[in-house]
Structure 1
Amino acid sequence: MFIEANGIQMHYELDGNPNRPWLTMVTGITNDTTMWVDQVAALKDDFHILRYDLRGQGKSSATPAPYSIELLSADLIALWDALGIQQSHLTGLGLGASIALAMGVHHSERLLSLLPCCCRAKMVPEFAAMWHQLMATVKQGGIEAIVENTAQRWFSESFKQAYPEKLEAVRQMIRGTSTEGYLGVVSAFVGLDVEDQLGQIKVPTMLMGGAEDKVGGPEPIMREIAQKIPNAYYTPVPGAAHIANLQNPAGFNEIMKSFLLKVSQG
């Protein structure tokens, strides 16, 4: 489904139980709504689920770079307003989780709980250098030039060897990203800086991350983020690297569902 929000055509999907609380799932860089399929299956009986593609990702329309975390947050607020969603549980992965953190800082009144996965709260020079190089590569060679690098970075070696078909599906998802949209969302990610404001988050919060994630959201960084949010905590997902919900969906779903049901039941 498509709807106009904040000046763009946004692609979104609704699943689950309309009589239950909203749960919004935010994708990351070169992701689309298909990344959450296993989570929807696990949570559809207990939540009314909204998935959407970020500006310039998947089937949502792109605008010229640069984007900002504030712009991507405004897109989500506009989507909620267009769909009549007053409050929602909010989860995201990678850039999607960084957007979720920013939403927690600036829009806690719209959230029921916060569940950021495999993320960061502030860009640092050594991590930014990788992203600047990736943007330069895409400017020169298009999205195809970073497909393999990205797919390889997301998963552990054992997973890549055991599930070549899943790796190929991920390659196809990455290829669905427009060059303009890639440069836009990466520019937003490079400007990420909400770490010093995390104490303003006012909703129940659990952070999750792949126990084997060494780059995108390493455990020490995730634990540090959790310590800066009132009453938040971190739970590692065993047997998973950066895209933890795809590498260990059963373990990821168990942790996520337990937290969300506990929060929903008060």
Structure 2
Amino acid sequence: MQVNINGIETRYVLSNEGGGPWLTFVHQLGGDLSIWDQLAGYFRDDFTVLRYDVRGHGRTAVSAEPFGVSDLSDDLAALLDTLGAPSTHLVGMSMGGMIAQQFALDHPSRVDTLTIADSSPGTTPEARGTWDQRAHAARSDGMGALTSTTLSRWLTADFQAAHPEAVEPIREVLAHTLPEGYAMACEALREFDVRSKLGSIVRPTLVVAGRHDSGTPPATSRLIADAIHGAQFELLDAAHLAPIEQSHRFAALLETFLERPV
């Protein structure tokens, strides 16, 4: 389905076979809503599952103007408004985890629970150049120049060798991400920093990290859990896309977490 959100044509998929509480998944930089296909299928009998393509990704249009993560948070709020969802359980991975943190700060009453996977609470000054480099590479050389190195960060070599059928769709989505959409998102993430604000989040929170994540080491994700009172931290035997590489383990963790009283 397509809907205009804050002036941007946005693709979303809603699975509400169960008619239960809302559960929203937000994808990584260079991904799209398809990354959640398996997990959406697992939860759709008990939840109203929402997935969507972030600005400039998948089949959502590229923004005409620069934006920040707060704008991406507002996009999600507007999408929930359009669909009639007062609140949602929120799951974000990597860039999606940054959007989820910002959303929990901007719209706290709309978050039932918060799950953040393989994400950072903010870009340090020394890491800002990395985002600039990725944005420049996408614009000047295209996504093909980034695909191989990105996949090596996202998934362990063992997983890539054992599950080519899972890896190839992820590779295809990354390779076909619009370079300008990717670059603009990089510039938004470069400016992201909520480290001083996370202590104000009071919703039940689950933070998941990949043991072999070189791009966002577990210690970085742990900062989020340490900053949010009562947050649960879990380490999976995976690289950056831990919910995908360890999908069964992640689904079990999330299912147990969502059963906690809110």
- Please, what TM-score do these two structures have when normalized by structure 1? 0.94
Amino acid at match of 1:226: A
Paired residues, what number?
262
Contact map agreement 1:92 1:100 (CA 8 A) in 2: yes
Contact map agreement 1:120 1:221 (CA 8 A) in 2: yes
Contact map agreement 2:136 2:183 (CA 8 A) in 1: no
State the alpha-carbon separation in 1 of the partners of residues 60 and 228 from structure 2. 31
Matches within 5 A, 1:60-71: 60-64=60-64, 66-71=66-71
Amino acid at match of 2:198: L
Aligned to 1:254: 252
Aligned to 1:194: 194
State the alpha-carbon separation in 1 of the partners of residues 232 and 18 from structure 2. 29
Contact map agreement 1:33 1:52 (CA 8 A) in 2: yes
Identity %: 32
2:120 match: secondary structure = coil
Contact map agreement 2:26 2:96 (CA 8 A) in 1: yes
2:11 match: secondary structure = strand
Q: How far has the Cα of 1:259 moved from its partner?
A: 0.4
Q: How far has the Cα of 1:18 moved from its partner?
A: 4.9
Q: Please state if 1:209 is matched with 2:209.
A: yes
Contact map agreement 2:18 2:46 (CA 8 A) in 1: no
Q: How far has the Cα of 1:161 moved from its partner?
A: 2.2
State the alpha-carbon separation in 2 of the partners of residues 202 and 108 from structure 1. 8
Unaligned runs of 5+ in 2: none
1:182 match: secondary structure = helix
Q: How far has the Cα of 1:160 moved from its partner?
A: 2.0
Q: Deviations over 1:199-229 (max 9, x none)?
A: 111211111111221222x221222211111
- Please, what TM-score do these two structures have when normalized by structure 2? 0.95
Amino acid at match of 1:190: R
Aligned to 2:120: 120
Q: Deviations over 1:10-37 (max 9, x none)?
A: 1000114353100011112111111001
Residues 29 and 232 of structure 1, relative CA distance in 2, 3 Å threshold: same
Contact map agreement 1:68 1:188 (CA 8 A) in 2: yes
Matches within 5 A, 1:212-223: 212-216=212-216, 218-223=217-222
Matches within 5 A, 1:19-168: 19-64=19-64, 66-168=66-168
Amino acid at match of 1:236: L
Contact map agreement 1:27 1:33 (CA 8 A) in 2: yes
Amino acid at match of 2:255: K
Q: How far has the Cα of 1:105 moved from its partner?
A: 1.4
Q: How far has the Cα of 1:233 moved from its partner?
A: 2.0
Aligned to 2:240: 242
Q: How far has the Cα of 1:152 moved from its partner?
A: 1.7
State the alpha-carbon separation in 1 of the partners of residues 194 and 125 from structure 2. 15
Once the two structures are overlaid, the 10-residue window that deviates more, 55-64 or 121-130, is 121-130
Contact map agreement 1:16 1:40 (CA 8 A) in 2: no
Contact map agreement 1:64 1:180 (CA 8 A) in 2: no
2:197 match: secondary structure = helix
1:196 match: secondary structure = coil
Q: How far has the Cα of 1:65 moved from its partner?
A: 5.3
2:204 match: secondary structure = coil
Amino acid at match of 1:89: H
State the alpha-carbon separation in 2 of the partners of residues 140 and 88 from structure 1. 39
2:67 match: secondary structure = coil
Once the two structures are overlaid, the 10-residue window that deviates more, 155-164 or 99-108, is 155-164
Q: Deviations over 1:47-94 (max 9, x none)?
A: 110000000000011114532011111111111111111110101100
